[in-house]
Amino acid sequence: MESEFDVKDIIVIDNGADTVKIGISGEDKPRIIIDSIGGEPKLGVNDEATNQKPQCLFGQQLQQAKIEKKFELEEKFPIQNGKIVDFDAIRDLYTYALEKLLQVNEISSCNLLIIDSPLNPKNYKHKLAEILFDDMKVNSVLFQNSSSLSLFSTGETTGLVVESGHSLTTCIPVFEGFAIPHAFQHSYLAGQKMTEILKEELKIPAGQLDDNVFKDIKERMCYVARDYYVDVNGPTLLSLEEKSYELPDGSILEINNSQRYKPTEIIFNPSIIGDDSMSIPEMMIDTLHRCDVEFQEELYRNIVLCGGSSLFKGFLPRIEKELLNEVTNTINRKDINFVQNTHRGYSAWIGGSMLGSLSTFQNLAITKNEYEENPESKMSIIHKKTF
């Protein structure tokens, strides 16, 4: 990790339910990818008397506390379904990451670009702005949504962004940099639910394996089927090595077809787990139909696949196959183009890194002075400068 930090740098933070990605604008990857799950020390009788809320611990701090076992820890999930639900814990996470990991001298000199889900309303940013300006006293903040930035990371400003992360799968049309709200589609089926399904399929007794092991098995061993029932019931063409996963105790787990394909199938066919959410191809078609015909053509020309769960082998071929089955005659199949970059696991962060290094950041961001100028109009400056 590079240690230099210049106060003129923009710090780009992408809030995710699985990880928060943090780094410096202009760089090609986040410097820090930290688990969003925190641990809050449980108060003892003496601590309760001092009335001090304990700090929520993250990353190395949390690992250390688990090893030392000085106090009991309560697990915290401050980001859920694309939304921050525990702002105190987020303040602790940001403060830890900026001071201890990025080694920023004065948080008050920091300029932040905060990335979150396009589904979050502007009102929701008000609370986050309070944490950033009133508590942490940062210098300036720009809020941006992950879809516009994922698209920007590909060098384009118009396209259809299909993002499947940990807690959310979204399908968002973006026109000249702006996400078009009336056409948004989303579901809560994504990486987190896939890990749960894999856990059920593996039938390993509860408590025997750490959750991170299940997540790792999913990332390494699960694929997206081209045709689910054929792939699950057909012969496995994989070698023994490709089917085998070595558990932490050295024993070997052999993954069968159902375990391999069912977890990812939930985003293509939610009914297999009795869920009535739309599948990704349904979301894409629905979103496209909500847009004007000329705009649809532009969207078809640039379909960007991103988010951690787009990294599964077979993801693009399956979407391509299903979408091509659905498209009407008005669209020429040759005009449909998919973009799947190698950095798609953190493309929103990359887009933020690119935006943060443009001089326009200064005009777009909300400064501490603007925010504090008129206490009554804090909300209006957030509305005016949030996209």
Ligand X SMILES: Nc1ncnc2c1ncn2[C@@H]1O[C@H](COP(=O)(O)OP(=O)(O)OP(=O)(O)O)[C@@H](O)[C@H]1O
Residues contributing to the site for Mg ion (CB under 5 A): 16, 165
- Unique residue bearing structure tokens 């856990």: 199
In a 3-state reduction of DSSP, which class is residue 113? strand
Residue 84 or 255: which CB sits closer to Mg ion? 84
Interacting residue with ligand X among 191, 263, 270, 281 (CB under 6 A): 191
Instruction: State the nearest-atom distance from the C-beta of 106 to ligand X, in Å.
Output: 28
Per DSSP (E only), the strands in the chain are: 10-14, 19-24, 32-35, 38-41, 73-76, 79-80, 83-84, 111-116, 140-145, 159-164, 169-175, 178-179, 185-187, 244-246, 252-254, 303-306, 338-339, 366-367
Report the C-alpha gap between 140 and 109 in whole angstroms. 8
**Of 275, 299, 304, nearest to 286 (Cα)?**
299
With beta carbons less than 8 A apart as the criterion, state whether 187 and 286 touch. no
17's contact among Mg ion, ligand X, none, with CB below 5 to 8 A by partner kind, is: ligand X
Question: Any contact of residue 120 with ligand X (CB under 6 A)?
Answer: no
Give the nearest distance from C-beta 304 to ligand X in angstroms: 13
- C-beta closer to ligand X: residue 270 or 308: 308
Q: Of 219, 286, 322, 370, which lies in the binding site for ligand X, with binding defined by CB under 6 A?
A: 219
Return the range that interacts with ligand X (CB under 6 A); candidates 12-20, 234-242, 351-359, 377-385. 12-20
308: contact with ligand X by CB under 6 A? yes
In the complex, what is the shortest distance from the CB of residue 221 to ligand X, in angstroms, rounded to a whole number? 10
Number of residues that bind ligand X (CB under 6 A): 21
First to last CA, the chain: 32
Q: Does residue 270 interact with ligand X by CB under 6 A?
A: no
Residue type at 113? Answer: L
DSSP, collapsed to helix, strand or coil, labels residue 272 as helix
Q: Which is nearer to ligand X, 139 or 264 (CB)?
A: 264
Q: Which is nearer to ligand X, 91 or 215 (CB)?
A: 215
Determine if 331 is a binding residue for ligand X (CB under 6 A).
Answer: no
Binding interface with ligand X (CB under 6 A):
16-19, 82, 165-168, 190-192, 215, 218-219, 307-309, 311-312, 345
